[in-house]
Amino acid sequence: MEKGPKIVAIVFIALGILGFLLSTGFLTNFSESALMGGAFGILSGIGGALGAFVGNPSTGKSIGLAILFSILVNVILIAFFQVIWPML
């Protein structure tokens, strides 16, 4: 495995963790909305890392698919919480 996809995956995981920390005010705000925002950040980072590994072995393809998967995860989460969750 090339180093490019691994580096892209690590960057997206780090961005997800940073998103969680920023939305929770560096772990000082544990309200429901802050935790949901943090979950969006972490899940987007995981989706980006997954996309980076799918884009093997090209670094450019890894970056493109990481961004695509990250956006796709956000769209799925928004659709779930806006459409499906209220009907449960």
- pLDDT (tens digit, 9 = 90+) per residue, 23-39? 999 989 888 888 888 99
CA separation (Å) from 74 to 10, 11, 56?
Answer: 19, 18, 22
The pLDDT-based confidence of 68 (bands split at 50, 70, 90) is: very high
Query: By C-alpha distance, which of 39, 40, 54, 41 is closest to 9?
Result: 54
Note the pLDDT of residue 49: 92
Q: Mean pLDDT for the chain? A: 89
Structure tokens at 15: 């961005």
Q: What is the pTM of this model?
A: 0.83
